Structure 1
Amino acid sequence: MSSGQWEVVGKSKKSQNGKVKNKEEDKKSFKNGPKLEDIVPHSQIKSFYAGMEIDDEKKPQKKKDGKSKKSQDKKSSEPPKPKPPKTIEGALEAIDPIELANIIATNKVRFSNAPLVWLKEVASFLNSKTQIDVDDPTFSNYSSSYPLSVLPSEIRNSLEGVLQDAGKANAQLFFDVTLTALANDMSRGQSVNGHRILLQILANDYPEFCVASIQKSASLRNSYQNRPPIGLSLLWAFGQGGLNNFAVGLKAWQELFLPIIELKNYSKFVIVYLSKLLDEHASMDSTKVSQEQLLAMFDLVNNKRNSLSKELSSDLIKQLTKYKDIYFNRSGNKLQVTFNQIMKKLPNQFLIGPALDPYNRVLVESLIDCLQRDDACNATWRQLFQKCTKQSATLLDYINSHWAEVSKRLKLKSLKKTVAEFKEVGADALKGKKKDETVVKANKICQDILDRMASTRRFPWLWASFFLLLSIVGLVAYDVYTVNGNFPKSATGKLMNDLGLLEHSQRAWQKTLSSSARGYLWLETNAPIYYTQTVEVCKPYVQLSKELIVVGVKKTGVLYENVKVYVIEKTPVVVETIEQYAPGLVDKVQGYASNGYEAVKKFSSDYYQLTAEYLQTKVFVGEWAPEILQNKTQIALNATRTHVSTYFHWFREQVHIYSKIP
């Protein structure tokens, strides 16, 4: 403190020289110490390190090897992880039905008053279990009911059950919600296969859901039509109702498919869907097309065909042909109005040869169908000559150019009258100074058709030969009758005598009669003997056949009883199933059947009473009275019996006479 400054009091470390050293200086001094190369000769350094080498690389390697062995042992003890499914079928088969049932049951308990929550949870579960990328959202390479067709039955029953439990109103709301969810989830890149399956089930049970909200569906389609995968998925969902209901499928096609047929990404699918719809329902009796629907379809196709490529336009017109065939196959025979309307749809110009494009060809073929099924359409056609001259000429040219095919379908008598009258109308039009080229050509076509009908009248050789033979026999019989049955004195006999054929013909005829008479007598004598022997030989086999028939009848009876019991057992199940999917349908069918039976019974009874009364009061009176008819019938039977007996005796006498001729 004498210096006036603070001093630090502490112990200092001193070296041998009295200087303070820290640890860093010690390290430096160790590093800067003498090296082995400075002390030992260079030639001995190698020998100095001999036996002191440490393999630094082997030690850690051993540790690594030890760790890898442990990890391998650990992996071998673990079970192999299942490979994720690569297809929708595999994903659906991998779903545990018990897990799905538990989820449904849990949600029903937790949200007892919110069925939509159950269904949304089920959809989320299915989406999570079927995370499979789908390249084709319309499944064009599979059946129409795919992927529902590969859904395991247990899972399908659970899904159908929860949808039924939710009620029809909630199911319809869920259908619309799921359509929106399908589009939204696809836009976010999420899996939507669960949505697809649920939409299929709903469309299968309630086809009308697909067209219940046309405006909403169209708005949703317009929102995503610029994104083809989503747009095609929506169209696929809209069309599922048409698998079971033709009317629903047709309405969905006209309202939701057809408006975007001009878009390149949708054109093919729109036409393919219509083709499948028509093919699947064409053979069903419930498939019907009204006249208004047919005419509307003609207009729709005509408006859209020019905006498509040639190939797609051709495919669309092929579907139009199928559509009009369905109409005509179930339209009946009253087609005059249809003929009138279709004739007016043809262009007001004479279409001949290549000028008749495929669309107008369908119209002309429809007119042919009308003429084929309703002969009264010829009268309607004749009334349209003045208004539809060029259209009529087009139809006549088609008939003329396809005569071999069309002539078999039409009634030629009515067609001849129509063509002749059209020719007269054309002849009157040609009397003026200005001659219409169409009328000139049509007049020539009419003449060609009339010539065809004249040339196609084949001579009836078979009937002509029969009548000719009958006439010859009649003339010969009359000729012989005029000479009291003496054939040699008849003109025919004299002609044959002059030709030297009479004697030979008489001998041949007598020989034929003699042989036939002896053959008849032989049969009359020996036939009973051979018949008795045949019966004795065949009796065991006949008995065996009877026994086999009896056994077969008994087996058939047993089979019938088994089938009857099976039907009785399964009838309540079938009725319950029908009642589940279509409530009230069985009662309605029974009611209709009962009413129909009562109506048929009533009309049959009334008709029988009227018929019996009419016959009793108007027909079977006077000489036609039942008593008089009975007497006349008895007299006719007695006379017939007498004549037959007389003829039989005469026949036997003739046989004995001719049998004695050598």
Structure 2
Amino acid sequence: QQQQQQQQQNKARQRQEMEKKQQQAAKPKFKDLEAALKAVVVSDLRVNLWAVNENFKDNHLMMLKAITAFLNEQLRVESVDPIFADKPQSYPYCVLPRDLQELVDETVVNAGEQNVQYFYDLTLSNLASDMNRNLPHLGHKIMLQAMAQHIPQICANNLARNAILRNSFQNRSNVGLSLLWALGQGGLGDPNVGLKVWQDIMVPVIDLKTYSKYVVEYIHAVLSQHKSTNLEISSSEFLTILSSLTTQVKASRDLAKLLEEASKLLVERYVFSAPKTSSTFTTLFKNIQFIAKSELIYFGLILCLTEDPECWAAWRGLYRKNVQQTADLLAYIESSSTESTQKLVGDRLFHQFLDDIQEINIELGQSKKKVEGLKASTTVLQQVQDKVASKKNKSAKAASKTASRGAASKCCSFLLATFLLFGLTGGLIGFDTYRAGGTFEKSHTGQLLKQAGLLPAVEDAWTCTLKHSARGYKWAEEHVPVYYNATSKAVGPYVEFSIEFSKILWNGTKKGFGTVKTLVEQKTPVVVDFVEQYAPGLPKKVGDFTSSSWTAVSAFTVKTYHQSCEFFKTKVFV
């Protein structure tokens, strides 16, 4: 009788499943998720939630369950990538209609962290189960993503349980990838959550072909984002994650490059997140041999040294018991050409440290006990000191070049000032001579020199200057044309360009001047009439004064020009 009852129950269950499948087959499927979301009627969902709230007053879990069931039913898509490759990280949540997104957010926030944690774990299991039975599941994914965005920590609170769930569906790659995607959503907002999920959930499947690409890209994305967020991980967690990043020998070239970049990002962020950098330096220094790629530890040690001066004292204290490790680190510094290494080589504290360990090496060499790595340390120390000395010499040469350029600049400035001074003095003397009728002896300058008894000497010097100037002029007449022809061939095109450019500039200036002239002609009568009202006779006085001033300036300029021409004809070019 019990067997008959069980058979009847099984038949009823099979009938229900058949009906459910028939109903699902009857409902149309959309081509993509965006099209399905556009067809969602949010008002229908609000009616469902109102009915649920009436039956289960303030039961937030039932509200979350109702939204998930509604979305699963509405979002039927032909085929969906389990990790939404080539889509934004916040997809599909970012393409939800605004009113639907607000409704989901409101329900998640009102549920509280404890209810959300419970429903997250339940939904994760339901996602795997429904995908395994080929049932609609996109509602699960949207709700899992929404909850992870609001409370990232829920993704890392039950890692042991979720690891078992992953193992159960590991052979179903679409289900396994969906689980990794859902558990990884919290890490995209909080790198500390992402590191925990990656190490405990994703690393165990990193060697599997269907999982490796997503796992490597995920850790790179986690470490590349939110760089202002400090990494709150212990030294043991850091070393474990770094070891996982550096021991993946089966990775392809592209994935190996991403792993290397992620490793450097991890080291850099761990160093800069440390509350005390010198303690981090000690931790890294003592664990050099435990990491497959020691250059990553060296990279972190150099960051520590450039970040905190106390690290030099920590290194000095570690040296006697870690001579070989120091030799290896110095060899890396000597051969590296990175920006941080070059900065370190020029640091005064580094030079002092080299002197200190040189003295310690002498002391250790005199002891009877053989020290491992002492010979290597002495050799590489000399190489590093040579590199430091070479850099100092280059810096000194660069400084001397800068100083010589500065001196040349000062010299040019001095010569320019000298020429200006002589030119100004010559102009004043010429004007003084012009006022005295063109006779230097009758000028104020000549009278002053005559009283001082220097006039004959000055006249002799001037005669000598004219004589040599004449010789120079004759030499220029003979030789300058030769150099002029050679120079004109070289600079001719540039001169022609300058002439053409000057013409264009002059035409533009004339146009501008013509415009200004027209404007002045139009506005001058208006201004004159306005001024005449308040100051009768003032415009006429201004005009007369301007006219007389311009006449005087013009006459003086013409006289000066003629006098200068006569002076050069009779006194210079003789």
Q: What range is the shorter-chain TM-score in?
A: 0.5 to 0.7
Q: CA deviation at 1:305?
A: 4.0
Q: TM-score with structure 2 length normalisation?
A: 0.61
| Alpha-carbon distance between aligned partners in 2 of 1:215 and 1:319, rounded to the nearest angstrom | 25
Q: C-alpha deviations, 1:516-552, integer Å up to 9, x for none?
A: 8799x9xxxxxxxxxxxxxxx9xx99xxxxxxxxxxx
Asked whether the 8 Å contact 1:133–1:191 carries over to 2, the reply is no
Task: Say if 1:300 and 1:508 are closer, same or farther in 2 by CA, change over 3 A.
Answer: closer
Task: Say if 1:294 and 1:318 are closer, same or farther in 2 by CA, change over 3 A.
Answer: farther
Asked whether the 8 Å contact 1:261–1:270 carries over to 2, the reply is yes
Bigger helix fraction:
2
2:279 maps to which of 327, 337, 342: 337
1:461 maps to which of 400, 411, 416: 400
| Alpha-carbon distance between aligned partners in 2 of 1:211 and 1:86, rounded to the nearest angstrom | 34
Equivalent residue letter for 2:261: K
Equivalent residue letter for 1:137: P
Q: CA deviation at 1:325?
A: 1.8
| Alpha-carbon distance between aligned partners in 1 of 2:41 and 2:375, rounded to the nearest angstrom | 79
Equivalent residue letter for 1:226: N
Task: Say if 1:302 and 1:164 are closer, same or farther in 2 by CA, change over 3 A.
Answer: closer
Asked whether the 8 Å contact 1:297–1:320 carries over to 2, the reply is no
1:126 correspondence with 2:71: yes
| Alpha-carbon distance between aligned partners in 2 of 1:243 and 1:166, rounded to the nearest angstrom | 22
1:514 correspondence with 2:425: yes
Q: Which residue of 1 aligns with 2:242?
A: 301
Q: CA deviation at 1:88?
A: 0.9
SS at the partner of 1:146?
coil
2:267 maps to which of 310, 324, 327: 324
Q: Which residue of 2 aligns with 1:252?
A: 197
1:391 correspondence with 2:325: yes
- Structure 1 spans left out of the alignment, 5+ residues: 1-80, 349-356, 473-506, 522-536, 542-661
Equivalent residue letter for 2:241: L
Q: CA deviation at 1:93?
A: 1.0
1:191 maps to which of 117, 124, 136: 136
Task: Say if 1:368 and 1:168 are closer, same or farther in 2 by CA, change over 3 A.
Answer: closer
Q: CA deviation at 1:262?
A: 4.3
Asked whether the 8 Å contact 2:128–2:179 carries over to 1, the reply is yes
Q: CA deviation at 1:237?
A: 1.0
Could you say which structure has the larger radius of gyration? 1
| Alpha-carbon distance between aligned partners in 2 of 1:152 and 1:470, rounded to the nearest angstrom | 68
Asked whether the 8 Å contact 1:127–1:195 carries over to 2, the reply is yes
Q: Which residue of 2 aligns with 1:94?
A: 39
Asked whether the 8 Å contact 1:207–1:248 carries over to 2, the reply is yes
SS at the partner of 1:452?
helix
Asked whether the 8 Å contact 2:52–2:62 carries over to 1, the reply is yes
| Alpha-carbon distance between aligned partners in 1 of 2:296 and 2:72, rounded to the nearest angstrom | 47
| Alpha-carbon distance between aligned partners in 2 of 1:303 and 1:253, rounded to the nearest angstrom | 10
**Relative to structure 2, which stretch is displaced further, 146-155 or 425-434?**
425-434
SS at the partner of 2:289?
coil
Asked whether the 8 Å contact 1:232–1:266 carries over to 2, the reply is yes
Q: CA deviation at 1:129?
A: 1.6
Q: CA deviation at 1:317?
A: 3.7
SS at the partner of 1:407?
helix
Task: Say if 1:152 and 1:433 are closer, same or farther in 2 by CA, change over 3 A.
Answer: same
Asked whether the 8 Å contact 1:242–1:249 carries over to 2, the reply is yes
Q: CA deviation at 1:86?
A: 0.8
Q: Which residue of 2 aligns with 1:417?
A: 352
| Alpha-carbon distance between aligned partners in 2 of 1:403 and 1:159, rounded to the nearest angstrom | 53
Asked whether the 8 Å contact 1:289–1:327 carries over to 2, the reply is yes
Task: Say if 1:88 and 1:510 are closer, same or farther in 2 by CA, change over 3 A.
Answer: closer
Equivalent residue letter for 1:322: L
1:105 correspondence with 2:39: no
Asked whether the 8 Å contact 1:298–1:320 carries over to 2, the reply is no
Equivalent residue letter for 1:363: I
Task: Say if 1:377 and 1:510 are closer, same or farther in 2 by CA, change over 3 A.
Answer: closer
Asked whether the 8 Å contact 2:71–2:139 carries over to 1, the reply is yes
Q: CA deviation at 1:113?
A: 5.3
Equivalent residue letter for 1:342: L
Q: CA deviation at 1:236?
A: 1.1
Asked whether the 8 Å contact 1:278–1:322 carries over to 2, the reply is yes
SS at the partner of 1:95?
coil
1:85 correspondence with 2:30: yes
Task: Say if 1:463 and 1:95 are closer, same or farther in 2 by CA, change over 3 A.
Answer: closer
Q: Which residue of 2 aligns with 1:75?
A: none
SS at the partner of 2:185?
helix
Superposed, 1:44-443 pairs within 5 Å as: 84-112=29-57, 114-282=59-227, 285=228, 287-290=229-232, 293=234, 296-302=237-243, 305-306=246-247, 308-311=249-252, 312=255, 315-331=258-274, 334-347=276-289, 359-403=293-337, 405=339, 406-430=341-365, 438-443=373-378
Asked whether the 8 Å contact 2:327–2:381 carries over to 1, the reply is no
Pairwise CA RMSD: 3.9
- Structure 2 spans left out of the alignment, 5+ residues: 1-25, 412-417, 433-515, 521-570
| Alpha-carbon distance between aligned partners in 2 of 1:410 and 1:150, rounded to the nearest angstrom | 52
Asked whether the 8 Å contact 2:345–2:388 carries over to 1, the reply is no
Asked whether the 8 Å contact 1:427–1:443 carries over to 2, the reply is no
Q: CA deviation at 1:89?
A: 1.0
Task: Say if 1:418 and 1:104 are closer, same or farther in 2 by CA, change over 3 A.
Answer: same
| Alpha-carbon distance between aligned partners in 2 of 1:509 and 1:155, rounded to the nearest angstrom | 81
| Alpha-carbon distance between aligned partners in 1 of 2:288 and 2:116, rounded to the nearest angstrom | 47
Asked whether the 8 Å contact 2:203–2:244 carries over to 1, the reply is no
Q: CA deviation at 1:301?
A: 2.8
Asked whether the 8 Å contact 1:183–1:234 carries over to 2, the reply is yes
Q: C-alpha deviations, 1:446-476, integer Å up to 9, x for none?
A: 112212222222233257549989999xxxx
| Alpha-carbon distance between aligned partners in 2 of 1:518 and 1:101, rounded to the nearest angstrom | 101
Q: CA deviation at 1:339?
A: 1.3
Asked whether the 8 Å contact 2:278–2:310 carries over to 1, the reply is yes
Asked whether the 8 Å contact 2:242–2:266 carries over to 1, the reply is no
Q: C-alpha deviations, 1:221-275, integer Å up to 9, x for none?
A: 2332333222221121111122323333333333333344344443332221111
Asked whether the 8 Å contact 1:419–1:446 carries over to 2, the reply is yes
Equivalent residue letter for 2:214: F
Task: Say if 1:510 and 1:138 are closer, same or farther in 2 by CA, change over 3 A.
Answer: closer
| Alpha-carbon distance between aligned partners in 1 of 2:110 and 2:311, rounded to the nearest angstrom | 55
Q: CA deviation at 1:106?
A: 2.3
Equivalent residue letter for 1:326: R
Q: TM-score with structure 1 length normalisation?
A: 0.54
| Alpha-carbon distance between aligned partners in 2 of 1:509 and 1:145, rounded to the nearest angstrom | 71
| Alpha-carbon distance between aligned partners in 2 of 1:167 and 1:289, rounded to the nearest angstrom | 26
Task: Say if 1:437 and 1:110 are closer, same or farther in 2 by CA, change over 3 A.
Answer: closer
How many residue pairs get aligned? The number is: 402
| Alpha-carbon distance between aligned partners in 1 of 2:338 and 2:109, rounded to the nearest angstrom | 58
| Alpha-carbon distance between aligned partners in 1 of 2:38 and 2:103, rounded to the nearest angstrom | 14
| Alpha-carbon distance between aligned partners in 2 of 1:387 and 1:435, rounded to the nearest angstrom | 12
| Alpha-carbon distance between aligned partners in 1 of 2:309 and 2:52, rounded to the nearest angstrom | 66
| Alpha-carbon distance between aligned partners in 1 of 2:426 and 2:274, rounded to the nearest angstrom | 64
Equivalent residue letter for 2:187: G
Asked whether the 8 Å contact 2:28–2:76 carries over to 1, the reply is no
Q: CA deviation at 1:171?
A: 3.0
Q: CA deviation at 1:340?
A: 1.3
Task: Say if 1:384 and 1:199 are closer, same or farther in 2 by CA, change over 3 A.
Answer: same
Task: Say if 1:133 and 1:392 are closer, same or farther in 2 by CA, change over 3 A.
Answer: farther
Q: CA deviation at 1:119?
A: 2.8
Asked whether the 8 Å contact 1:172–1:209 carries over to 2, the reply is yes
